[in-house]
Structure formats: C-alpha cells, structure tokens
C-alpha cells in the first residue's frame, strides 16, 4: 500500500510532528507517538481518517498486548483540582492568552507527565481522552481516544472550528464560540453532533494556509452538514493572530466576502 512520510511542510495529522510517522493513500495514518486501539507492526499505532480498516498487523514485541482503558474524566478532574492559579497564569503568559481562555478549554497541569493537559470529548460532551503538551511536544495519555477540544462558553449562531486546544483558546479570547478538532482532517462526525446540539446555523473552519490545512478543512466542513466556510488567519495560526493584535472584527470583515458552501 502506498504511503508518504511526514515532513516539516506536511506534518503528521495525528501528533503534528515532522518525522517518523506515515500517511497512507487509503486515509490511514501510522503515528509513532499517539496510541490507538490498532497497534502497527512497526511499533506505532494506526489512526483512521475515513479510509477502510487496514489488515490486521502484528504487534511489536515491545508493546503490551492491549491498550489500557482510562477514566479520562477522573484524570482530568484530579489534575484540574491540583492546578495552581500561579501555574495557570504562567502558562497563559507563555501562550500569549488569558487565564480565562485556558480555563474555558479545561487546561490542567498533569504532574505525572510534566505536561499541560486538555480533555478530548465526543459530540455529546463525554470525555474520551486527554491531549498533553510540554516542551518536548504534543502527545496523549495512553488509552485515550481522539475527540474534540470543547470550550465552556455561551453558544452562538456561528461555530468556529479550530485545530487543537490552544487555537480553540485563542478563539475564545476573541469572543468566538469555538471548538477544536484533533487535527486538520478529523472530527467531522462529532462536530456535526456538537453543532446541532447548540443550534448553530453555520460553521467556520479555521485552517493553516497550506495544502494539508485547506484540504482538511474542506473535508471536515463537508461532513458537518451545515453552511460552512474556511478562514485562514494572516498569521502562523489563530493563536499567533491574537498575539499580533488580531480581533474578532477583523475576522468578521474577512468573512463578509466569503462564499458559504452548502452543508
């Protein structure tokens, strides 16, 4: 089966790293960092992006026979209760965001991993797993399932779909009703449920200005089944846009000339 290796220009859609992982032509990704319930022969894990299930693969002798299940809700609750205001304030400064925006996305300090943790949920709001972030990169608690990064804010008619938890927090900083997808091309089914639960009338996919980002946004937008458009920030990402002084008004002015696609 044909595949392409990830690179700096086209990082892994699962862990966002530029090395080790592979993307297959049938829509599956072999990620060497983020676990799933489908161990790969090479020692990594397979993640679906809408393709057919790959043939069974032999486990590496270094892997445990099963991926452990976790109580992600309890883990996140425990880490959240142990997170100090000082630590959260320092993290906010590091990201160039407010403490309130990080609180809205459930940011918590996971001491066992020396990393910041963000819960991942399904379209109904049930926590499925936990994404971790530290100076070494982005990864997930073993046993996690991928899901959406939700923000505890008041729903609005327009839902902004970002990529990852910190861009979701950046959208909250701008006063937007936002949710994060796990990577550029996943999460459509849960986003469809989430948008309808909150009576959203249209959706904006925030995308990086490159082929993977734009293709992924269009793929996810088509799955949500609501009028949708793609917005590309005039910066590296939405968080960088906020740090440079970008505003909600700038985004809304850009969207005035946008052609909305049918769901």
pLDDT at 53: 36
Instruction: Please name the helix (run of DSSP H) or strand (run of DSSP E) that holds residue 138, with its range, or none.
Output: strand 137-140
66 Cβ contact partners less than 8 Å away, ≥ 6 residues apart: none
pLDDT at 1: 62
Q: Which residue, of 67, 85, 106, is where some domain finishes? A: 67
Residue 107 lies in a domain: yes
Instruction: Verify that 81 and 182 share a domain, yes or no.
Output: yes
Count of structural domains, the chain: 2
Instruction: Verify that 43 and 110 share a domain, yes or no.
Output: no
CA neighbor of 164 nearest in space, from 127, 133, 209, 210: 133
Angle ∠(177,221,198) on CA atoms, nearest 5? 35
Instruction: Verify that 96 and 222 share a domain, yes or no.
Output: yes
197-219 average pLDDT score: 92
pLDDT in tens, 35-68: 777 777 656 778 886 444 344 344 343 344 444 5
209-223 average pLDDT score: 89
Instruction: Verify that 149 and 81 share a domain, yes or no.
Output: yes
pLDDT in tens, 157-178: 999 999 999 999 999 999 999 9
Instruction: Verify that 93 and 166 share a domain, yes or no.
Output: yes
What is the Cα gyration radius of the chain? 18
Residue 6 near residue 184 (C-beta atoms within 8 A): no
Of the two residues 112 and 1, the one the predictor is more confident about is 112
Provide the residue range defining the domain that includes 193.
72-255
Instruction: Verify that 127 and 184 share a domain, yes or no.
Output: yes
Instruction: Verify that 152 and 222 share a domain, yes or no.
Output: yes
Residue 34 has pLDDT above 80, yes or no: no
Residue 50 near residue 33 (C-beta atoms within 8 A): no
Instruction: Verify that 88 and 207 share a domain, yes or no.
Output: yes
Instruction: Verify that 78 and 202 share a domain, yes or no.
Output: yes
Reading phi first (left if > 0) and then psi (alpha if -120 to 50, else beta), residue 116 is in beta
Residue 262 lies in a domain: no
Q: Rounded distance, CA 117 to CA 133, Å?
A: 6
Residue 261 lies in a domain: no
């Amino acid at each position: 089966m044909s595949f392409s290796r990830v690179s700096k220009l086209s990082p892994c859609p699962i862990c966002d790293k530029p090395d080790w992982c592979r993307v297959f032509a049938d829509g599956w990704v072999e990620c060497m960092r983020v676990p799933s319930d489908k161990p790969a022969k090479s020692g990594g894990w397979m993640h679906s992006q809408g393709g057919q299930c790959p043939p069974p693969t032999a486990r590496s002798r270094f892997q445990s026979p099963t991926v452990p299940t976790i109580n992600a809700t309890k883990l996140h609750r425990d880490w959240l209760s142990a997170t100090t205001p000082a630590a959260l304030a320092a993290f906010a400064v590091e990201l160039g965001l407010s403490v309130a925006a990080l609180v809205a996305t459930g940011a918590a300090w996971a001491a066992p991993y020396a990393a910041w943790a963000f819960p991942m949920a399904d379209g109904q709001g049930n926590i499925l797993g936990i994404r971790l972030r530290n100076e070494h990169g982005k990864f997930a608690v073993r046993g996690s399932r991928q899901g959406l990064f939700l923000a505890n804010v008041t729903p609005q008619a327009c839902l902004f779909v970002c990529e990852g938890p910190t861009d979701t927090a950046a959208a909250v900083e701008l006063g937007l009703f936002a949710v994060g997808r796990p990577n550029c091309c996943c999460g459509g089914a849960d986003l469809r449920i989430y948008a309808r639960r909150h009576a959203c009338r249209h959706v904006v996919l925030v995308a990086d200005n490159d082929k993977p980002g734009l293709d992924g946004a269009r793929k996810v937008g088509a799955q949500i089944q609501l009028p949708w458009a793609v917005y590309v920030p005039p910066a590296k990402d939405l968080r960088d846009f906020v740090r440079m002084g970008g505003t909600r008004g700038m985004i809304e002015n850009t969207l005035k000339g946008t052609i909305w696609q049918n769901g």
